[in-house]
Amino acid sequence: MASPFKWIDERVDLVGVRKALLDRKMPGGLTWFHTLGSASLTVFAVQVVTGIVLAMYYSPSPDHAYDSIRYLQDQVVSGSTLRGIHHWGASAMVVLVLAHMTRVFVMGAYKYPREINWLIGVVLLFIVLGFGFTGYLLPWDQKAYWATQVGTNIAGTAPIVGGILVRLLRGGSQLGAATLARFYALHVLLLPLMLFIAVLLHLAIIVRQGIAPRTKALDADAPTHTSDAEYPAFYKKAYDRSKGAGVPFWPDITTKDVVMGAAIVLILLQLARSFGAGLEPPADPTDSSYVPRPEWYFLPFFQLLKLVPGSMESFVAVGIPAVLVIVLVLLPFFDRKSTRSFSKRPLARASLLAIAGSCVLLVGASMAEDSAEAVAPETGRPLSSVQRAGRALYAAQGCGSCHAIGGKGGGTKEDAPPLTEIGLKHSGAWLHSFLENPLRFHSETKMPSFGPPTLSHQEIEEMTRYLVTLRGPNGDLKKPEFVDTFPPAPKSKE
Ligand code: HEC
């Protein structure tokens, strides 16, 4: 009996498959930038694997979604690392796809004969953003809820179709159970299917056409336009020449791809271990003081909307994405110049600089605003308006002259303990009573009383709400272990 390899080969032509996929010749001089596409594919695989495991624990209903994530984080072995990888993988996916697209743009690889594959790439980019938008809601915490509220509102400002669009996204007029079910279905069924098909097409075309060579190989003696009648013949000759001086896909190119893929997986693992994925308090639809923040890659757009006057908002909200899609789709059909070297394409250079520059400025502006109004610098956490009021009282009452938070403030006098992790140590109820009258807890205490008339009950409660947010670095991942001991009930003489 023949070997299993031979048996299969006779039936499905394994040798032919190997020739077509692995032995094909690639143009020489490919750079590390050429590995970005395969790196995106690697992260996609990571997302599929981690996503399947997450789905085994996740429950897509407002009553259980948050708890199911909490359970995964706190009780399941490596659960928080797993979720961390999926979380950071989503960002990595956006970074890599954008970087890959930029590489293709810079090297003019969207030009003849790769226009169709550029279009599929544009579709892939929007699928990836769709994954980000739908995935953001699933943990059903404050951040998820309010960011999606804002995101779906933006869709609602579209002229004519706005109302229908919001209903379509939310599954009703309000964000609720129907929205969560919808986003979940999109995230785990429709989008993966679309991505899978688009990726297969993208790869099939790359295998058919071969990867674009270094720009020099196609610029020398080229007809000026790719639409010129003689261009295809020129292209074929130049491409075959560059392939002749090239290397085989296996092992030369694959080695680089594997090194890059492995490096990225290790980085994801490290990010997941060190920073986790974060989980805010459960979604509270009544807490309208919450300051929503979208995922970082939607920030430039979000910030732009904040900057334009209200009357222009709906115009920009729909206009900018529409223009972006149109420009990306039309690019390979309007740019018919055959020049591929970036140094000889001044318009391409100026556009890339303008887009990247404005994104950086917008993100910078948004981060500056965030830290000024919403995020407490000592914890990096966004604060609600009540918590912000508490934080202001903390400063105004001079608590920082005795106590330190995260190493800042505090003196050596009075042995006041640092409050860096006070939210893990004491419950809100305990803190409230303690601030009101520390003497009841320790008769010798040097901690001043802040109860009325110094501060009102309302103010003490505000300060308490701030104190419970103090949970130290990675506080979201830690479980509080309260050591609240209350003094015995006051005697009747009090
Ligand atoms: C004069 C210095 C001083 C000032 C001002 C001060 N504290 Fe204290 N605080 C202390 C000391 C000393 C203790 C430890 C006392 C004890 O355990 O009885 C303490 C204990 C605490 C505790 C309990 C810590 C623990 O780990 O159990 C909290 C909470 C607290 N302070 C909050 C505040 C807040 C909020 C303010 C401002 C409104 C404030 N403190 C102002 C000195 C101060």
Residue 25 has phi, psi (to 5 degrees) of -85, 140
Residue 165 inside a domain? The answer is yes
96 and 182 housed in the same domain? yes
Q: Return the structure tokens found at 199.
A: 């990726």
- Spell out the alpha helix ranges (H) of 210-298: 215-219, 231-244, 254-275
Looking up residue 470, the CATH number of its domain turns out to be 1.10.760.10
Question: In the 8-state DSSP scheme, what is residue 186?
Answer: I
Report d(CA 232, CA 112) in Å as an integer: 8
What is the CA(447)–ligand 1 centre distance, in A? 5
Cα-to-centroid distance, 464 and ligand 1 (Å) = 12
Protein residue with its CA nearest to atom 18 in ligand 1: 445
- Residue by residue, DSSP assigns 74-116 as HHSTTHHHHHHHHHHHHHHHHHHHHHHHHHHHHTTTTSTT-HH
Index of the ligand 1 atom closest to the CA of residue 445: 18
- What is the CA(485)–ligand 1 centre distance, in A? 16
Who wins on pLDDT, 433 or 281? Answer: 433
Question: Residue 425, Cβ neighbours under 10 Å: how many?
Answer: 18
Last residue of a domain, one of 371, 389, 407: 371
Q: Using pLDDT thresholds of 50, 70 and 90, give the confidence band for residue 493.
A: very low
Q: Are residue 132 and residue 273 in the same domain, yes or no?
A: yes
Q: Which residues does 301 contact at the CB level (< 8 Å), separation at least 6?
A: 320, 321
Indicate which residue's Cα is closest to atom 6 of ligand 1.
399
Q: Which residues line ligand 1 (CB under 6 A)?
A: 394, 397-399, 401-403, 414-417, 419, 422, 425, 431, 434-435, 438, 442, 445-448, 450, 463, 467
417 CA → ligand 1 middle, Å: 7
User: Considering only CA atoms, which of 66, 138, 131, 53 is closest in space to residue 92?
Assistant: 131
Q: Which atom of ligand 1 is nearest to the CA of 444?
A: 18
- How confident is the model over 267-296, as a mean pLDDT? 85
Q: CA 295, CA 39: separation in Å to the nearest integer? A: 22
Please choose from 391, 397, 402 the residue to mutate so as to test ligand 1's pocket, defined by most ligand atoms within 8 A of CB: 402
- Domain-embedded: residue 8: no
* 358 in a structural domain: yes
Residue tagged 């303690």 (tokens): 434
- Pair (354, 385) in one structural domain: no
Query: Residue 339's pLDDT band (boundaries 50, 70, 90)?
Result: very high
Report the C-alpha gap between 136 and 131 in whole angstroms. 8
Distance 403 CA to ligand 1 centre (A): 7
Q: Which residue has the higher pLDDT, 148 or 367?
A: 148
Which of 158-172, 248-262, 270-284, 301-315 has the lowest average pLDDT? Answer: 301-315
Beta strands (DSSP E) in 105-257 are 247-248
Protein residue whose Cα sits closest to atom 38 of ligand 1: 399
My answer on whether 416 and 467 are in the same domain is yes
Q: Domain count of the chain?
A: 2
**Percent of the chain having pLDDT more than 70?**
96
Same domain assignment for residues 208 and 336: yes
Give the number of residues written for the chain. 494
Q: How much is the average pLDDT of 301-311? A: 84
* Residue 106 included in any domain: yes
Lowest mean pLDDT among 187-191, 287-291, 376-380: 287-291
Ligand 1 closest atom vs CA 441: 18
Separation of alpha carbons 190 and 362, rounded Å: 32
**What's the 289 CA to ligand 1 centre distance in angstroms?**
28
Domain shared by 343 and 445, yes or no: no
Helix (H) or strand (E) holding 372: helix 346-373
Cα–Cα distances (Å) from 347 to 33, 102, 297, in that order, read 22, 15, 25
The best mutation among 403, 424, 486 to test binding of ligand 1, ranked by most ligand atoms within 8 Å of the C-beta, falls on 403
Each residue's pLDDT tens digit, 30-81: 889 999 999 999 999 999 999 999 999 999 999 999 999 999 999 999 999 9
494 has a pLDDT exceeding 50: no
Residue 226 pLDDT class (50, 70, 90 cuts): very high
Range of the domain at 229: 24-279+294-371
In whole angstroms, give the CA distance from residue 265 to residue 85. 9
> If we measure between CA atoms, which residue out of 264, 328, 314, 285 comes closest to residue 156?
314
In a domain, 37, yes or no: yes
- CA distances (Å), 99 to each of 34, 198, 209, 275, 357, in order? 10, 18, 21, 23, 15
Q: Where is the domain boundary, 346, 371, 396?
A: 371
Query: Which residue is it, tokens 């080969």?
Result: 9
Reduced to 3 states, what is the DSSP secondary structure of residue 479? coil
> With bands split at pLDDT 50, 70 and 90, how would you rate the model's confidence at 284?
confident
Same domain, 349 and 449: no
Domain-located, residue 385: yes
Between the CA of 372 and the centroid of ligand 1 the distance, in Å, is: 27
Residues 169-196 have a mean pLDDT of: 96
Q: What is the value of pTM for the model shown?
A: 0.73
Do 139 and 204 have their domain in common?
yes
User: Of 189-203, 307-321, 426-440, which has the strongest mean pLDDT?
Assistant: 189-203
pLDDT band at 414 (very low <50, low <70, confident <90, very high): low
CA 300 – CA 364 distance, rounded (Å): 9
